[in-house]
Structure 1
Amino acid sequence: MSDLAGWIAPVATMIAAIMTAANLGTRITGWGFIVFMIGSVAWSTVAIGTGQTNLLWTNGFLTIVNAIGIWRWLGREARHEDGREAATAHSAESTDVATLFGMGSIVGAPLTGRGGGRLGTIVDGMMRCDNRDLAYLVVSEGGMAGLGERLHALDPSAVHFSPAGARCDLTASDLQELAILEQGEWPAEIPKTRLDVRR
């Protein structure tokens, strides 16, 4: 039994790490914690079979942590996501109210441009405290997995939100002409000129 657990434990742990680190959504993250749970139980089985008390205590604690992760992502966060999607769907079907777009859906939303091509990804938004309007959206483009990416501040009035996502009338070259935000030093308002990128 411990021999089988010795194979299951590392495989489950590696798969779970990929699932949670990829940040592919509420439910995939939640299932990542389920796989983590399988791994921690398997490691505990190995610990019992080999008499490694420290390994047993460590994975006993991690089993509790994984249970909390499952509750959070497949319970609480999933219910919030379902509620947000339901409100969006109901508003899109109604003629009496404006179509809604969940604030939680903004971060990570792909931004499409003129012609339907993908321009980048919305990574954040800055809100004004005085009137609760969005000051600007932060859009990432270029690079790979965050390396070499360029961040731009985009006027929210130029973006149209719908249940299908976020779109604007810019082209890829238009977006690249916007000022580049300094990493870790975002401005108080939309820059009027291109900023130097801090190396």
Structure 2
Amino acid sequence: MNWDYVANWSEWVAPIATMIAAIMTAVNLGSRVTGWGFVVFLIGSIHWTLLGVATGQKSLLAANGFLCIINAVGIWRWLGVRARLDDGAQAAERKSEALPAPTLLSLSNIEGRSITAADGALIGHIRGGMVERDSGRISYVVVANGGLGGVSETLHTVPWDELKPSDEGFTVPAKCEDILRREPLDPADWPARVQAA
């Protein structure tokens, strides 16, 4: 095998694949995108491993040989297990739409959905929420507004009772500025109770 040829290709493919995979997994656009991110990570790790062999760098070979295993586990986890669970949850949502109320909504699909105000303005996207342990009822969600990738965003709580499902996410009867006038949430200190406006 022409190891110089392998090294020339791998020194470009490896970092490009690694950067693309890092973006795909960091943006958290769902189990399938994350799973395909691990596929691209695996391609990068294979090329880093080949580069280690071609250049005699044993530490690069060892580290990326191990990362190939980790990336294979990521593929199994996100394109296998998690994707099947998401498919099952979506099937339950579809079936429930054909039945009398209540319509079901997968808990794993709530995070990331948009919240739009009565005036049509986008308030933000759901970052998390709290469920009442005894009843299983969702108490409130946390919505992120502004910023980029978690930097300079503000967090606000919205009681579950204020949310109405829509095609793209949820709507609230309040105006956007009314929601954003509420006390911002400390990311490290969520409240035990949130009162509806």
TM-score normalised by L of structure 2? 0.89
Whether contact under 8 Å (2:18, 2:41) holds in the other structure is yes
> Which digits, 9 at most, give the CA deviation of each residue in 1:77-119, with x for residues without a partner?
1111111111111211x13452111111111111122143321
Equivalent position of 1:24 in the other structure: 29
Which of 57, 61, 73 is matched with 1:56 structurally? 61
Equivalent position of 2:105 in the other structure: 101
Which of 130, 134, 141 is matched with 1:130 structurally? 134
Please identify runs of 4+ aligned residues in structure 1 that moved more than 4 A: none
Pair 157,191 (structure 1): closer, same or farther in 2 beyond 3 Å = closer
| Residue 149 (1) aligns with residue 153 (2) | yes
Q: Which amino acid aligns with 1:91?
A: S
Whether contact under 8 Å (2:162, 2:196) holds in the other structure is no
Equivalent position of 1:69 in the other structure: 74
**Separation of aligned partners in 2, 1:147 and 1:58:** 31
Which of 141, 162, 177 is matched with 2:181 structurally? 177
**Separation of aligned partners in 2, 1:121 and 1:84:** 21
Give structure 1 stretches of 5+ with no counterpart.
Answer: 194-199
Equivalent position of 1:113 in the other structure: 117
Whether contact under 8 Å (1:153, 1:191) holds in the other structure is no
Whether contact under 8 Å (1:89, 1:163) holds in the other structure is no
**Separation of aligned partners in 2, 1:30 and 1:84:** 18
Equivalent position of 2:3 in the other structure: none
State the SS of the aligned residue for 2:165.
strand
TM-score normalised by L of structure 1? 0.89
Equivalent position of 1:159 in the other structure: 163
**Separation of aligned partners in 2, 1:74 and 1:192:** 39
Q: Which amino acid aligns with 1:30?
A: G
**Separation of aligned partners in 1, 2:104 and 2:159:** 19
User: What is the total number of aligned residue pairs between the two structures?
Assistant: 192
Whether contact under 8 Å (1:138, 1:154) holds in the other structure is yes
CA RMSD in angstroms comes to 1.9
State the SS of the aligned residue for 2:124.
strand
**Separation of aligned partners in 2, 1:157 and 1:15:** 40
Give structure 2 stretches of 5+ with no counterpart.
Answer: 1-5
Percent identity over the alignment is 42
